[in-house]
Structure 1
Amino acid sequence: MWFKHLHLYRLHDAPQLDAATLEEALAEHAARPLGSRDPRRMGWTAPAGRAGTARLHDLQGQRLISALRQERLLPAAVVREEVEERAAEVEAREGRKLRRQEKITLKEQVVEELLPRAFVRSQRIDLWWDTRRGLIGINASSRTRAEEVLDLLRETLGSLKVTPLASQTLPVRAMTQWLTDPGSRPADLVLGDQVELKAKGDDGVLRARQVDLDSDEIQQLLESGRQASKLALELEGRLSFVLHDDLALKSLRFGDALIEEANQSDDGDDALMRLETDFVLMAQALGESIERLIAWLGGEAGTASNV
């Protein structure tokens, strides 16, 4: 249940939906088996998998829903090879070169024929909806996947006004400042051992893992004008993550104390109860940590600074 990545969005004029209404809307856009000629499809599925059928878990103002993304894998190299073979046969038979449009049509025919035999890859993408804070967080490795889930939610609800969560101080500026000036770091912030430094010119990107971020080598790179676009951070042993320049949180790791609290909960070996217990604890930790992070970054963009 524990999220690995998080793309954050601010809800504006959030729809007031009770759990029953939302569950009904999710059911109308439920995941269905991928058709033999469908390249991809996305719909809502049960977050608990085989342990439960509910598509919505609504607990203490925290909502959990999951999208199932299915896609047929048809390698471009396979299609290209088949198109070239068929094109060569036609050209040899008719004694002429195929026009560009004819090759495009041939490619479409190849894709249509091969698609039903392609393997299907399924991916579950979890969405956390904090109704109290007006936040949505999506457990996806890329912004593109997160946006696909938002599109599905927008289609499900009829409308959905969200914007990526943004801070008054750009993450790049804050991360660079924390690296160059230890005195600027918030008291409860601990640097990790991973960083990505970008140059202003065309000198590329430097990535370092398992390094002392206060070392002379890192400081020299910063003095040369490089800026931090990714930085590993830890918050009071409760949560660690890699902060990205677009405010995405990657490589999330929850503290041992929080995991131990979840493990000690009395769920009676009930998988559904365990899912909900883990989710509530995770949502609480994420909500509090995000509030603190935004405060470190000068408050949320578009609002008065709360530092």
Structure 2
Amino acid sequence: MWFKHLHLYRLHEAPQLDADTLEQALDALAARPLGGSEPRRLGWCVPAGRAGTQRLHELQGQRLMTALRQERLLPTAVVKEEVEERAADLETREGRKLRRQEKLAIKEQVVEELLPQAFIRSQKVDLWWDSRHDLIGVNASSRKRAEEVLDLLRETLGSLKVTPLSSQTLPMRAMTTWLTDPASRPADLVLGDQVELKAKGDDGVLRARQVDLDSDEIQQLLASGRQASKLALEIEGRLSFVMHDDLAIKSLRFGDALIDEANASDDGDDALVRLETDFVLMAQALGESIERLIEWLGGEAGVQRDALSA
């Protein structure tokens, strides 16, 4: 249940939906098996898997939904080989070179025939909706995947006005300052051991892992004009993560105390209770940590400082 990545979005003019209405809307776009010629499909599934039946879990204003992404894997090389073979046969029989449009038509036919035989890859993507603070987080490794799930939610609700969460101070500027000036670091912020430094010119990107970020070597690179585009951070006692320059949160790891609290809760060996307990604890920790992080970044761009804590 614990998220590994997080792309954050501010929800504007949030639709006022109760849990039952939202559950019905999710049911209307439920995941179903791919049709024979469908290359991909996205629909809502049950977050608890076989342990549950509902597509929405809502507790204390925190909503959990899960999208199932299915995609047929049809290797480009396989399609290319089949197209070339059929085109060559046709050119031999007719004694002429095929036009580009004719080869494209053959390719379309090949894809249509091979798709039903292709393997299907399935991926679940969780979405967290903090309805009290109009905040949405998507547990996806890439922003493209997150945007796909948001598109599904938009289709589900009829409309969805969201923008990527942004801060007054650019994350790259803040991360670079924290690296170069230890006195600027907030009291609860701890540097990790991973960084990505970008040069202003064409010198490329330098990535370092398991390094002392206060070392002379790193400081010299920063002094040469490089800026931090990714930085491993820890909010002491809560969670650790790698922050990206677009405010994406990757490689999330929750603190031992929080995990111990979750493990100590009495779920009666009920998988559904375990899911909901973990989700509530995670959502609370994420909400508090995001609020603190945005504060460290000078507040949310275009929003009053107390917006997240209202």
Whether the TM-score (by the shorter chain) exceeds 0.5 is yes
Report percent identity of matched pairs: 84
Query: In the aligned structure 1, how far is the partner of 2:263 from the partner of 2:305?
Result: 38
1:226 aligns with 2:222: no
| Contact 1:175/1:228, CA 8 A, preserved across alignment | yes
Q: How far apart are residue 303 of structure 1 and its match?
A: 2.4
- Residue identity matched to 1:24: Q
Aligned to 1:185: 185
Whole-angstrom CA distance in 2 between matches of 1:6 and 1:303? 21
Say if 2:176 is the partner of 1:176.
yes
Counterpart check, 1:296 vs 2:299: no
> Where in structure 2 are the equivalents of 1:9-28 lying within 5 Å?
9-28=9-28
Number of residue-to-residue matches in the alignment: 306
Tell me the distance in 2 between the aligned counterparts of 1:305 and 1:146.
26
Q: What does 1:145-184 align with in structure 2 at a 5 Å threshold?
A: 145-184=145-184
Q: Deviations over 1:245-268 (max 9, x none)?
A: 000000000000000000000001
Q: CA RMSD in A?
A: 0.7
Q: Which residue of 2 aligns with 1:206?
A: 206
| Corresponding residue for residue 51 of structure 1 | 51
TM value normalised by structure 2: 0.98
Correspondences of 1:98-137 after superposition (within 5 Å): 98-137=98-137
C-alpha contact (below 8 Å) 1:62/1:128 kept by paired residues = yes
Q: Which runs of 5+ in 1 are unaligned?
A: none
Q: Which residue matches 2:66?
A: 66
Post-superposition Cα deviations, 1:22-59, rounded to whole Å, max 9, x if no partner, equal: 00000011001110100000100000001001000000
What does residue 89 of structure 1 align with? 89
Residue by residue over 1:199-247, the C-alpha shift from the partner in whole angstroms, topping out at 9 and shown as x without a partner, is 1111111110000000011011101111000000000121000000000
Conserved in 2, the CA contact under 8 Å of 1:9 and 1:162?
yes
Whether contact under 8 Å (1:168, 1:305) holds in the other structure is no
The 3-state SS of whatever aligns with 1:213 is coil
Map of 1:251 onto structure 2: 251
Give me the whole-angstrom Cα distance separating, in 2, the residues matched to 1:226 and 1:25: 48
- For residue 94 of structure 1, report the CA deviation from its aligned partner: 1.3
Instruction: Give me the whole-angstrom Cα distance separating, in 1, the residues matched to 2:305 and 2:57.
Output: 34
Q: Does the CA-based 8 Å contact 1:191-1:234 persist in structure 2?
A: yes
Aligned to 1:238: 238
TM-aligned CA deviation for residue 305 of structure 1 = 5.2
Deviation at 1:304, TM superposition (A): 4.2
Task: Give the equivalent residue in structure 2 for 1:275.
Answer: 275
Q: Counterpart of 2:186 in structure 1: which amino acid?
A: P
What displacement does 1:77 show? 0.9
Q: TM-score, normalised by structure 1?
A: 0.99
Q: Give the aligned residue type for 2:139.
A: N
